[in-house]
Structure 1
Amino acid sequence: MTGISIRSANIEDAQLIADFHVKVWRHTYRNLAPAEAYAALDEQRRGKQWKEKLSSNDSHQIVLIAEIDNRIVGIGAAGGPSELIFDGRGEIKFLYVDPDFKRRGIGRELLVQLAIHLRKMHYQGAALSVVKGNEPAIAFYEALNGRPAGEYVDPGPIWRSQNIVFAWDDLASLIA
């Protein structure tokens, strides 16, 4: 991972993260999301959401940015579980890598750093959800020994997506 740095995000990063998030989300879900959800997601809406997230005083939450030459190439976020299906495991809430920078270890390193944070917050395991049909993400989590742990409908702010939950019952398996 030469030239890649990972740092904690701060409130000043909110709009940069939002712009990146929308770009990668649109690329990832262009053939999966309904047209109305695709159209509704924009940088302004995401900017507000990221400002709220980064303004939170929740000590269990972390937002990370991966950069190359001051350009965001990945983001990750983790915190306490938002749904019962996560079964008390820490939740990986976001993990996005720029399509032009995939297969360089960025997603893996972000996941490791998020798992380290969750361990510090005393979670024994981690879980995340991935939209059904997002085959590259599913293959990535399977390659990292994530196991399917159920399915649920993510109520999401703009799209009720069908999701598969992947879990790691021992954070050491993600950190190793």
Structure 2
Amino acid sequence: MDGVTIRPARSNDAEGIAAVHSASWRSTYSGIVPQSYLDDMHPAKTVERWRDAAMGKHPGAHLLVAEENGKIIGFETYGPAREPAFGYSGELYAAYFLPEAMGKGLGTEMMKTVVRDLAAQGLNDMIVWVMEANERGRRFYEKILGGAVVEGSRQSFEIGGATIREIAYGFRPLPLLK
């Protein structure tokens, strides 16, 4: 993508990352997550968490940002798999983009860096959890990256009083992205 820089996050990116996180949740999960929960998502509530992530305070985790004209428009965080249950060594923890940055190939471009970094760490496969009702996200992982739903990977959690179902997509080996 012309004019977009993909780079490791810095601590001063935390406000922009938090803004993308909130905006992306409101856009992507409307109708999936209770509206009251989405309405209560304010970037100020997560700035310190993202500053810690950018400063490398989570062992093994990496945080990439996409920046355009000095503004953070997306981010992805990844590293070693958090759960060994499914036998994957790497994991994409989160991938969020401003609504206006979606559908332009940015996710695929960032995934190229994620895949290279995971492979360089000796993590030769990857898992990612996605809300089952997030059709756009699921299409990306299935069609663009060629992932398959991991057998037995369904799980549920509560958000704002609603039960949210997740499934995992697995990539074994890591996808070859050109």
Normalised by the size of structure 2, how large is the TM-score? 0.87
User: In the alignment, is the contact (CA less than 8 A) between 1:40 and 1:158 conserved in 2?
Assistant: no
Q: Map residues 22-171 of structure 1 onto 2, 5 A cutoff.
A: 22-58=22-58, 60-143=60-143, 144-149=145-150, 150-154=153-157, 161-171=164-174
CA shift in 2, pair 1:168/1:78, >3 Å: same
Task: Give the partner amino acid of 1:38.
Answer: L
User: In the alignment, is the contact (CA less than 8 A) between 1:129 and 1:165 conserved in 2?
Assistant: yes
Give the count of matched residue pairs: 175
Task: Give the partner amino acid of 2:64.
Answer: L
Task: Give the partner amino acid of 1:16.
Answer: G
Q: Secondary structure at the match of 1:116?
A: helix
Identity across the alignment (%): 25
Which runs of no fewer than 5 residues in structure 1 stay unpaired?
none
Normalised by the size of structure 1, how large is the TM-score? 0.88
**Structure 1 counterpart of 2:5:** 5
Q: Secondary structure at the match of 1:14?
A: helix
Which runs of no fewer than 5 residues in structure 2 stay unpaired?
none
- 1:122 to partner: Cα distance: 0.9
- 1:170 to partner: Cα distance: 0.8
User: In the alignment, is the contact (CA less than 8 A) between 1:60 and 1:118 conserved in 2?
Assistant: no
Q: Give the Cα separation in 2 of the matches to 1:47 and 1:159.
A: 25
RMSD of aligned Cα (Å): 2.3
* Structure 1 runs of 4+ with >4 Å offset: 154-160
Q: Write 1 or 2 for the structure with the bigger share of helix.
A: 1
